[in-house]
Structure 1
C-alpha cells in the first residue's frame, strides 16, 4: 500500500502528464521516493513512453550513465521512425543496443566541448523524436558531473513533449544542489519541487497494518514505532521485519509490543549506512557522535564536549563535520541529536563495551552538575556505567518526582526496574514495593506490575508488615485484567485480614472494594456485609482523603443497587479540597456516581457528575479514573443519543485502553450496540463477545448483562428467537444470582421479547414479576421504564392492544424523561403497531416520526424496519433528505448500502437488514461502486465512509 502520499502522488501524476514539465523529488534515504515513482509508472500513462535510469553508487561513474540507461528503452518506438534527426547518430557508440535504429555517426568535430554539446543535442532530439516521454532519473546524489550537466541542459530547453522527474537526497548532494548549479525553469515549463516528508503517526499505523496484513495495530504501538523510526517507511518496514516471530506475526498492541519496540535492534541496512557515514568523519567528529549516541537525548554542544572529552577549541569543527555528514542533526536551539532512535542505536552498537561504560560514566558526571538534575537520564547512565548505588538513588528520586507531577507511568516503570535488580538490598524492598503498588494503582500499566508484585510476595526480602499492602495493590490491579476477577477478590480479602491490625486505613480501602456490587457473580447478600463494614470505617475516620475514597465506593455501590436517597447525599461532597490525593479521590467519587447513574437511568445526573469528575481527574492527572470515566461517557452518549462520531471516538478509546479490561469491555459494549442499530450482525457479535457476556463470573456484571442483552437483540433482529432466549436467559440468570434488578434496564425488554417470540409466555410473565419485585422501593428510572415496556410486550402478545398501547405510552414518557431517545423510539414503534388496526392515521404518524428519530441517530436497521412497516400499512416515507437528484454523491440509502458493503455483507444480507429486495440492493451496490470510483467490494472496504 502507498500510505500517506495521496497529495504528493496526485501532484506527481498531474505534473508528469504535462509537457514540458520538470519535477524534482527530494527526500532522505528510505523516505519512499522510489515507491512513489513505482506507483506512477505502474499506472496508465497513455501514449507517454516512460524511460527510467538510476545513478549507481560506484567509485568510477560512467559518464551520462543514468540517462543512457534510460534511452535504451526508446528502441521499439525509435524503430518505427523513418528518418531521425542526423545529430542523434552521435549516440550510436554509446547506445549499441539501439544503434541500428540511429543515423550514421557524424564526422568528428575535434573540439571536446563542441562534441559534448552535439551529444547533448542528440539526446534532446532523440527524446523529441520518440515523444511524448517521461524521463525518470533516480538517486541524482550519485550522478557524475556530466549527467548533471546533461539533465540541466534538457530541463533548461526541453522538447515540447518531454517531462522529466529526478529524485535525490539533498544531504548527500555535492554542494547541496541536485544539478550542480541553481536551476530555474524557463518560461512555459511547469516545474515542481516535491519534498517527500516522513509519515505521521496515523500513516505509520496504516503502513504497519498494511505490512502486517490483517493484524490491528494499536495507537500506542504506532506512536512508539513512529518515535523510533521518525516515520521513515523503509525503517518502519525493516523494524517490523525484525520484530516478526517465527510464525510471521507481530504482537502490535499492549505492553508486549512496547517492550519489543524498546528492545529491537537497528536494521542491518541502517547500521551499514550509519557505519559508512561515520567512516567519512574525522576523529573528533566521531567522538562527538559517540557522545551523542551515549547521551541518547538531544544535547547541547557544551554537554557533548564534556562527555566526548575533546578540547573546547576543536568542538566547533567537529560538530560541523558531524552535521554536514548528516550523522547528527540540529533538533532545536543549540540541541543536537540523531534523525531517529534507531539511527542513534545503530551508532551506539558500534561502540566497544569498555568505551560505552566509560562514556556513560562521563555522562553521569556531566548531568549531575545540571540543575535541575535530569533524573531519568541519570538513572539510565548510572546503570550502564555500573554505578549501582548511584543508580538506586537516582532511580527512586526520579520515581518520586514522577509521582509528584502525576506521571504514574514513568514512576511505575522506574520502580519495576529497581525491584527487578537481583542485588537490591533487603532494606529497600518494602519501601519500593509499596511505592510501586501505589503508583501502578493510579496509572494504566497493570499486568507487568501485578506480576512483579506476585513474585515479591514470595520474596524473603519482603517483610511481613509490607506483605498485606503489596497483596492489596496486587488485588486491585488484578481487578482490571481479563479473567482475573475471582483471583483479585480472593487476594483483596486476604490482604484485608493481613492489614487489619496495623494498617486499618488500608484495610478500609480493601473493604470498600469488596463492597462494590459489580464484581463477577458475587451475590449482593455477600457484598452487603462488606458495605456495612466500609460505612463504619468512613464514619470513624478523620482522614479526609480516606473519607473521600470510602465515599466514592459507597455512593457508587449503593446507587448501582438502586438504594433510595443516594442522590441526596451528593451534597455531602466538598466542592474544593486541599491536597492532590483528596482531589484524586473526589474525582473518583464523581465519576463512580456518574457510572452508577448511567446504568440505573439517572442520565442527567450522570452527565453532570462525569463532567465534574473528568475535570478534576485531568487536573490531578488521575489517569485510571479518566479511563473509566471516558468509557462511561461513551456509554452515556449511546443512551442519550449522542451518536454522531461516537463509533470513531469509542474505537480510539478502545485502542488507548485495550489492556484495561473493565474499560475495554464497556467500550466494546458501546461499539456492539451501535453495530446492532446499523444491522451489522457479525460485527455486533464480535464486540459483545468482549463484554464478558459469555463469562459473567469474570466480568463487570452490569456490562456483561448488557452484553447478553445486545446479543439477544442481535439474534432477535435476525429472527433467531431460540438463540436470543439463550443469551437473554444467561443475562437474567446473572441478575437472579446477584439479586440486583436495578441493572434490568437492558436485559428485561429483550428477554421478554425473546421468550414471547419463542412461545415461552409463562416465562415472559414471570420475568415481568421478577423485575417488578426486584425494583420495588428502589430508585431505578431505567429499569422502571423497561418494566413498563415489558408489560406492553406481554399485553401486545396477548392481543390486548389497548393495554399494550397504554403501557408503551408510559414507557415512552419514562424513556423521554431520562432522556433515552433510541429506547423511546423503539417503544414508540411498538405502540404505533398496536394503534394501526384501530387508529391507522395515528399509527402511521407515529411510525413516520420514528423514522426521523432513527435516521437522525444513524440507526440504519431501525429506520429501515419502520419504513417497511409504513409500506405494509399503506403509507411510506422517503429518506430523511427527501427525493432529489444526488449526482455523484451517495444518497442516504446508497450510503447505508455502502457501509454494509464495506463491512463485508452480501446483497442478500443487506436486503434483510434494510428490508429491500436483493435486486434493489444489487442496483444500489452498482451505483455505489460507480460513484466512489472503485472497481470492487474489496476496494470499497478501504474507503472512509464516515
Structure 2
C-alpha cells in the first residue's frame, strides 16, 4: 500500500491506514511529541521500533492526522512476500505523485530517467533514461541518485516506510543511501520490528546520521497497567475500569495494544467485565479464546520451527509458567543434547522468550494459549503426565502447578490431594484469595466424595471470611447448602460462614443475620462456632434492628467469652464485643483497653488481635477518640499484614481514610479513597464508608453532583441493609449538600430520614454528623421547635456516653439554636465550647465550620474582630482544600465591607494560575457553567467569565473542552 498526502491539501495513493478501535492514543504522548517536533525539521530521520502490535502504525497514524502542511506525505509498506520486490516500498510511495508532477513539471537531470521503467505511472514526466552501463553496481547507484533527486524535486516531503523488517536488501540499501544524504526538503520515518530483522540492524549495516540531520529513534514499549486501563476505557467508552481487570488484562496481553484490543473484542460483554474484581476478572479473561489473527500468527511461527523446537514450545505451553531449559527438555522428552539447539530455534523464531534469567516462556498468556490449542487431547494429557513427573522432583513442591496438571491429566485423586495441600499452604502464608480460588475449584467437581466435600466446604468458609473475595465464595456455599453430599453436621458451619459473607455485601445484611441465626440453631454440638455467630449478631451497627434487641446477643457474647478456654476464640469474641460497646459509647471500654494483650502465641491469635485493634479503631473514629484510633490502626494494620488477614486490613485501610477526613489530612485522600473503593467495591461496609468520605470531600469543594453520587451509596436510602452510623452520616451530608444549594425542602427530607433512623436504632452516639446538619436544616425551614426537640433528645441520648465527637457536635447544635433566637452571647459561648471540643480531638474542619458561625455572630458587634476571624478561616479552609467554605468566607468578608488582608502583599502570578484561577480551571474542567461556578465560589457570572478567559489564555488552550480535570485535582 502507498499513500501520498499533503495534509489539508492533497492525497494520492492507496487506502488509509487500518483503523483501530481506540479513539485516542494511549501511553505515547512523549513519542508523538518527539515525532511532531522532528518531522518538520528537515532534513530529518525518525526510526520507530517495537514488537508486533505495540502501536507503531497507530503512532504514525496520529502523526498524519496532524496538519503537516506544506509537507507532501508519501507512504509505502514493505510486504512479507515470497519473491523480492526491489525498492518496493519507496516505489509504491512515489506512484501516487503523477498529478503533482503534471502540475509542476520539475527540471530533472537525465539520471532521473532511470526510474521510468520502474515507475511507468510517472514515466512520462521523467527525462529519457541514459544508456545502460552494463555494470549492476553502477546501475543501482543511478537508481539511488534518481530516486533521491525525484524526492528532492517534489518539494517538502515526508516519506513513511512501514514494516522495514520485511524489506528486501535493495530497499534497505536505498533507504540507507537516502538517510545518509537526504535532500534538504526530505523527512523520513520508518517503522520496524528489530527482533524480526536478520542481524538486528534495520538498514543492513550500522547507521549513524550525518551532522545537520534531525535524527530520532523512538522505541515503543508495552503499556503498563494504568495505560492498559486507559486504553480499555477508551475502546469501550467506559468511565471506570477496575484496577483488578486492568491488571489481569495487562498480565494476559503483556500490555501490547493490539493484543489488548483483540482480547477485548473476543471478550463477551466486555463493558460489564471491566468493573470486575480480581477473581472475576481472572475468570473472565482466562475464558477468552485466542483471537484469530494472533492464533494464525503463532501457527506461522510454529510451522517455521524444527520439530524439536516445536515440541519444546508445546512443553512450555503445557507448563504454563516460565521454566528453565532443563525442565522444558524433560517435559518435552528431548535428550539433553537436543534441548539447547531446540531452545535456540524457539527463541530466534520469536515463539519463546527469556522471561527472566535462565527461565523461558511466552510473551503473553494468549501466545501460550495459542500454542496449547495446537495440541490434540491425547498429546496434551501425555505432556501433562510428564510435567507431573518432572515437577515432583522440584523442591519445594509446586503444589498449585501439580494440582493443575493433575486436573488436566484426569488424575482426580491426585488433583484433590495437591489442590487441598496448596490451599492449606496458601492459608498458612496468609493468601486467602488463592486458597479460596483453589477450594472453590475443588468443590465445583461433581466427582469429589461426600467426606471430602464436608472438609473442603468448611475450609472454604473459614478462609473466605478472612479474605476480600466475598461474592464467589458466597455463591459456592449457597450451592453447597443444597448439595446432597454435604452432611448435616457440616451444614450449620457452612451456613454460618455464608451468613458472615452476606453481611459484608450490599443488600445482604438482613439475609446474612437470618442465616447466622439459623446456623446457631444447628450448631448445638459446636458451641465455639455458635459463639462466633452470636458475637456477629451482637454488632449493633447493621440494619435497622433496634439497639435493645442487640443487647441480648451482646450479653450472651460476654458470657461466651468468659466461659471459653480457647485463647483464639476469646480474642475473636473480644474483638466484636469491645468494638460494639465502644460504638454505642460505653464509657467502660477505653479504660479497659490497658488490659489488652500486647503479644500472642499463634498466627490465628494474631489475626484476632488485628481484628481487636482495627475494630476498636473504627469505633474510636466514630465516637471521637481520634488519637487512640490512630495508634490502634498502626498496630492493627501491622498485625493484619504479619498474620495474613486481608479482610481485616481492608477495614483498617478504610477506617484510615475516614479518620484522615475527620482530622483534616486531605492531601491525596481523594485518589487514595478512589483506589480503595475500586478494590473493595464488593465489600459494602468498606465501599459505603469510602463513599461517605468521597462525598464529604466533594461537598467541601462545592462539587454537588459528585457529592450526591457518592453519598447515595452510603446506605442513606436503604438503612435496613446499611452500616447504620455510615447511613446516618450520609443523610447528614446529603442534607448539608441540599442546604448549600438553598434547597431547604430537600435538606429537611434528608435530615428527617437520618433522625428517623437514629430514633429507630436508639443509638445517639451516632449523631455527631447528623446533629448540626439536622438543626441547620430545620432552622432554615422555620421548624425551631423540631430543632429544639432534636437537641434535647440528643443531649439526653449521649448524657452518660463516652462520645467526645458528639459532645462537640451538641455544643454546636445549641449554639445554632441560640443564634436563631438572637441570643448571640449564649450562641458564642456554645460555639466556643464546640470549637474547643473539636480542636482537642483534633477535627480542624468541623472546628473551622463552627468558628465561622462564631465569626458571623461577632461581625455586627465587632466588625474588625469578625473580619479578622473570617480572614484566618479563609486560610484554614484553603489549606484543607475546602474550596466552597473558603469562598463562602470570602463572600461574607466582602459583604461585611472587608477584604482579606495579605501577609506579603499582593503577588503577581504572571502566566501562572492564581489560586482563584486554579479553582475556576478545576470547575471548568469538570464541565461547570459560568453560573454554576459563580454559585460555588460566591462570585458574579461576569467575574467568572473574566477568570475563565485568563485561564484559557494562560494555559494556551482555545476552549474549555481542552481542559483536563486530572490537571487540577
TM-score for both structures, normalised by structure 1: 0.98
**CA distances 1:438-458 after superposition (whole Å, capped 9, x unpaired):** 110101110111111111112
Hey, what's the Cα distance between the residues in 1 that align with 2:871 and 2:904? 14
Alpha carbons of 1:263 and 1:878: their partners in 2 closer, same or farther (altered >3 Å)? farther
Hey, what's the Cα distance between the residues in 2 that align with 1:25 and 1:829? 60
Hey, what's the Cα distance between the residues in 2 that align with 1:731 and 1:292? 61
2:967 aligns to what SS in structure 1?
Answer: coil
Hey, what's the Cα distance between the residues in 2 that align with 1:453 and 1:7? 50
Q: Does 1:797 align with 2:809?
A: no
In the TM superposition, residue 598 of structure 1 has moved relative to its aligned partner by 0.5
Q: Does 1:671 align with 2:659?
A: no
Hey, what's the Cα distance between the residues in 1 that align with 2:961 and 2:276? 26
2:922 aligned partner: 899
Hey, what's the Cα distance between the residues in 2 that align with 1:647 and 1:14? 36
1:738 paired residue among 743, 757, 761: 761
Hey, what's the Cα distance between the residues in 2 that align with 1:221 and 1:932? 35
1:123 aligned partner: 147
In the TM superposition, residue 82 of structure 1 has moved relative to its aligned partner by 4.4
1:163 aligns to what SS in structure 2?
Answer: strand
1:812 paired residue among 835, 838, 850: 835
Question: Unmatched 5+ residue regions in structure 1?
Answer: none
**CA distances 1:821-872 after superposition (whole Å, capped 9, x unpaired):** 1101111111111111111111111111110110001111000000000000
In the TM superposition, residue 740 of structure 1 has moved relative to its aligned partner by 0.5
Pairs aligned (count): 944
TM-score for both structures, normalised by structure 2: 0.95
Hey, what's the Cα distance between the residues in 1 that align with 2:375 and 2:912? 60
2:241 aligned partner: 217
2:112 aligned partner: 88
Hey, what's the Cα distance between the residues in 2 that align with 1:857 and 1:702? 25
1:220 aligns to what SS in structure 2?
Answer: helix
The answer as to whether partners of 1:881 and 1:892 remain within 8 angstroms in 2 is no
Q: Does 1:414 align with 2:415?
A: no
1:944 aligns to what SS in structure 2?
Answer: helix
**CA distances 1:59-111 after superposition (whole Å, capped 9, x unpaired):** 22422110112223444554325423433222233233333433333333332
After TM superposition, the structure 1 = structure 2 runs for residues 1-400 of structure 1, keeping only pairs within 5 Å, are: 1-78=24-101, 79-80=103-104, 82-245=106-269, 250-254=273-277, 255-400=279-424
1:766 paired residue among 789, 793, 797: 789
Q: Does 1:830 align with 2:833?
A: no
2:711 aligned partner: 688
Alpha carbons of 1:326 and 1:892: their partners in 2 closer, same or farther (altered >3 Å)? same
2:586 aligned partner: 563
Alpha carbons of 1:641 and 1:391: their partners in 2 closer, same or farther (altered >3 Å)? same
**CA distances 1:518-553 after superposition (whole Å, capped 9, x unpaired):** 011111100011110000111112211111111111
Hey, what's the Cα distance between the residues in 1 that align with 2:109 and 2:929? 61
2:772 paired residue among 749, 754, 760: 749
The answer as to whether partners of 2:714 and 2:727 remain within 8 angstroms in 1 is yes
- After TM superposition, the structure 1 stretch with the greater mean CA deviation from structure 2, 874-883 or 276-285, is 874-883
Hey, what's the Cα distance between the residues in 1 that align with 2:691 and 2:904? 31
In the TM superposition, residue 590 of structure 1 has moved relative to its aligned partner by 0.5
- After TM superposition, the structure 1 stretch with the greater mean CA deviation from structure 2, 679-688 or 880-889, is 880-889
The answer as to whether partners of 2:238 and 2:271 remain within 8 angstroms in 1 is no
Hey, what's the Cα distance between the residues in 2 that align with 1:251 and 1:772? 48
After TM superposition, the structure 1 = structure 2 runs for residues 502-517 of structure 1, keeping only pairs within 5 Å, are: 502-517=525-540
- After TM superposition, the structure 1 stretch with the greater mean CA deviation from structure 2, 719-728 or 82-91, is 82-91
Hey, what's the Cα distance between the residues in 1 that align with 2:46 and 2:902? 48
1:745 aligns to what SS in structure 2?
Answer: coil
The answer as to whether partners of 1:375 and 1:394 remain within 8 angstroms in 2 is yes
The answer as to whether partners of 1:26 and 1:169 remain within 8 angstroms in 2 is yes
Alpha carbons of 1:4 and 1:711: their partners in 2 closer, same or farther (altered >3 Å)? same
- After TM superposition, the structure 1 stretch with the greater mean CA deviation from structure 2, 100-109 or 345-354, is 100-109
Hey, what's the Cα distance between the residues in 1 that align with 2:354 and 2:281? 30
**CA distances 1:385-419 after superposition (whole Å, capped 9, x unpaired):** 00011001001010011111111111100001111
1:654 aligned partner: 677
**CA distances 1:640-668 after superposition (whole Å, capped 9, x unpaired):** 00011110111111111111111111111
Hey, what's the Cα distance between the residues in 1 that align with 2:449 and 2:903? 71
1:613 aligned partner: 636
In the TM superposition, residue 144 of structure 1 has moved relative to its aligned partner by 1.2
In the TM superposition, residue 880 of structure 1 has moved relative to its aligned partner by 9.5
- After TM superposition, the structure 1 stretch with the greater mean CA deviation from structure 2, 36-45 or 815-824, is 36-45
Q: Does 1:591 align with 2:644?
A: no
Hey, what's the Cα distance between the residues in 1 that align with 2:570 and 2:229? 44
- After TM superposition, the structure 1 stretch with the greater mean CA deviation from structure 2, 924-933 or 224-233, is 924-933
2:869 aligned partner: 846
The answer as to whether partners of 2:543 and 2:724 remain within 8 angstroms in 1 is yes
1:430 paired residue among 444, 454, 457: 454
In the TM superposition, residue 250 of structure 1 has moved relative to its aligned partner by 4.2
Hey, what's the Cα distance between the residues in 2 that align with 1:421 and 1:880? 73
1:491 aligned partner: 515
**CA distances 1:245-294 after superposition (whole Å, capped 9, x unpaired):** 3x965443224433211211111111010001001011111110110000
Hey, what's the Cα distance between the residues in 1 that align with 2:954 and 2:649? 42
In the TM superposition, residue 305 of structure 1 has moved relative to its aligned partner by 1.1
Alpha carbons of 1:912 and 1:881: their partners in 2 closer, same or farther (altered >3 Å)? farther
Hey, what's the Cα distance between the residues in 2 that align with 1:178 and 1:258? 39
**CA distances 1:608-654 after superposition (whole Å, capped 9, x unpaired):** 11111111111112100010111110000000000111101111111
Alpha carbons of 1:602 and 1:883: their partners in 2 closer, same or farther (altered >3 Å)? same
Q: Does 1:451 align with 2:475?
A: yes
The answer as to whether partners of 1:240 and 1:250 remain within 8 angstroms in 2 is no
Hey, what's the Cα distance between the residues in 1 that align with 2:590 and 2:434? 38
- After TM superposition, the structure 1 stretch with the greater mean CA deviation from structure 2, 33-42 or 17-26, is 17-26
1:841 aligns to what SS in structure 2?
Answer: helix
- After TM superposition, the structure 1 stretch with the greater mean CA deviation from structure 2, 100-109 or 594-603, is 100-109
In the TM superposition, residue 193 of structure 1 has moved relative to its aligned partner by 2.2
1:442 aligns to what SS in structure 2?
Answer: coil
1:641 paired residue among 649, 655, 664: 664
Hey, what's the Cα distance between the residues in 1 that align with 2:616 and 2:904? 40
Q: Does 1:402 align with 2:426?
A: yes
Alpha carbons of 1:334 and 1:678: their partners in 2 closer, same or farther (altered >3 Å)? same
Hey, what's the Cα distance between the residues in 2 that align with 1:143 and 1:110? 26
Q: Does 1:926 align with 2:949?
A: yes
The answer as to whether partners of 1:440 and 1:449 remain within 8 angstroms in 2 is yes
- After TM superposition, the structure 1 stretch with the greater mean CA deviation from structure 2, 746-755 or 64-73, is 64-73
The answer as to whether partners of 2:564 and 2:570 remain within 8 angstroms in 1 is yes
Hey, what's the Cα distance between the residues in 2 that align with 1:331 and 1:697? 52
Hey, what's the Cα distance between the residues in 1 that align with 2:916 and 2:804? 36
Hey, what's the Cα distance between the residues in 2 that align with 1:896 and 1:730? 33
In the TM superposition, residue 925 of structure 1 has moved relative to its aligned partner by 1.9
1:714 paired residue among 737, 760, 773: 737
Question: Unmatched 5+ residue regions in structure 2?
Answer: 1-23
In the TM superposition, residue 932 of structure 1 has moved relative to its aligned partner by 2.8
- After TM superposition, the structure 1 stretch with the greater mean CA deviation from structure 2, 179-188 or 902-911, is 179-188
